[in-house]
Copies of this chain bind each other. A is one copy, B any other.
Amino acid sequence: MTTVHESCAMFAHTPAPPYYAVIFTSTLSGKDVEGYAEAAERMVELAQAQPGFLGIESVRGADGLGLTVSYWASEEAIKLWRDNAEHAAARAKGRSDWYAAMVTRVARVERAYGFGAP
């Protein structure tokens, strides 16, 4: 099984734009750290199995700020993922227990460029 750490310590391999990005910024409450880590790993597994999932990039810094960007083929794919029952339950737990603060932004990627990414 791929762990969250392994699956996230890499660049997402996205197709040519347009596609969608869900930018998730968070700080943790410090409650139920193990439960959070298990759920985070499970959510990556589940997302990867969703139709229209393109990739994910995720980092949490030493100062506690977390940035996770997941990439999706369409708004429809994002809605299907939002409506996944296990994902909805995890989001509820995130609001009640795991996160001190979080912001989700849904954005349409218009262009992309770079070098060296595998």
Which residues of A approach B to under 8 Å, CB–CB? 5, 8-12, 14, 17, 21, 23, 25, 27, 57-67, 69, 95, 99-118
Contacts and interface: CB of A to CB of B under 8 A. Distances in A.
Main secondary structure of the interface of A (DSSP, over half): strand
A61 B59 contact: yes
Given A21-B23, A61-B9, A61-B61, A109 B112 contact: no
Contacts of A12: 25
Q: Say how many copies of this protein the assembly contains.
A: 2
Contacts of A105: 14, 17, 21, 109, 111-112
Contacts of A66: 59
Contacts of A107: 21, 107-110
A11 B101 contact: yes
Nearest to A9: B63
B95 A65 contact: no
A118 B101 CA distance: 8
